[in-house]
Chains A and B, each alone.
Chain A
């Protein structure tokens, strides 16, 4: 069995047999890797916390018949503070769930790993509304990296000018529609001017800068609702963590 080393973020784990786990990893190059961690559920396992979700580690993988097999793991960053706070853990679960849905085996997207690590790093130190701001920023950036970057400055269908006040956001085209295109559009969601400005700012900011933007909570909730609809429209599978997070933040 050929083996190789990879730095990766653990996204999800699934129980396998009596004491094994299937761990879904996001590799540094953005590819998804599913690997078996043998005996990882036993208290004396050498993997222990190293394959827990949100852990960034260096994994030694062997190529198995169907899945890779983890033969060694070293922790680079455990993101321990996320596990110690319920609100942070909820926000991080959205990050992991969306990454699990948008990352693909053997399909590289190097920016995705950087975004994931930066988001989890920022979540570790965040509280209150900053968690919501970071979650919305992650959603809009992740969708952009997945090929669905929203366009806010012009109608995404015809390129024409859009309203300055409340608009209909096309989930299919990924942007606010002009008057002419709005009439025939099917899947749309309401977008307030505040939400639009917030999404533009969040898209342009680094994760470390997001808490400093000071976007008010009602505006963040509007932006979150819009991004949730956008993510739900484009991703092939339902993001359950996003649904639970929406219920928790009252959206």
Chain B
């Protein structure tokens, strides 16, 4: 017995494909769309179609972009001598939110994960090395995640970039602001102590 009319069932099926959306969340979203006006539903559908049509990868840094270059690569005021290497386009947003970095980016499109069969060839590592050969970069900041995949990726890239005579730095690991010291795990606290600074 079908619980839903076919169009609702189809919408639920599509919504459940989205990450983090289970059957209950899909039902809540579907009913919200059904209760809203037709224009709102059309705007949502248009936005989804438009983003797929208009957005592509930046030809230089592989961030999401509306044209050949993303906003960061197209901005002539940014410091082209410092490059921040991140795993995903969402990491660019996270770094930008800090307001502490005014250099350029390179998005690897993932991290080395041997257990998942992801090696350096599946990432934009070759393109990074090509860029470093073309552009006048004096420092590469490795801002991959501080987990085993991110650390392995950072070690691999450092091994490739250091012989080019470019300074390679890694973002610091340590205690989150607002966190309690007693709840910190041994590795994080150890790293925080290791990277302590003079006051």
Contact = CB atoms under 8 A, between A and B. Distances in A.
Contacts of B119: 244, 247
Interface residues of B, number: 23
B152 A75 contact: no
A12 B115 contact: yes
B183 A46 contact: yes
B99 interface: no
B176 interface: yes
Given A85-B155, A89-B151, A241 B185 contact: no
B156 interface: yes
Interface in A24-72: 43-44, 46-50, 52-54
Interface residues of A, number: 34
Dominant secondary structure at the A interface = helix
B183 A83 contact: no
A244 B117 contact: yes
Interface stretch (A91-99, A123-131, A156-164, A217-225): A91-99
A44 B117 contact: no
A94 B114 CA distance: 8
B114 A97 contact: yes
A107 interface: no
Contacts of A75: 185-187
Given A86-B155, A89-B151, A240 B115 contact: yes
B28 to A, nearest CB: 16
7 contacts: A17-B20, A43-B176, A47-B185, A86-B152, A86-B156, A100-B115, A241-B117
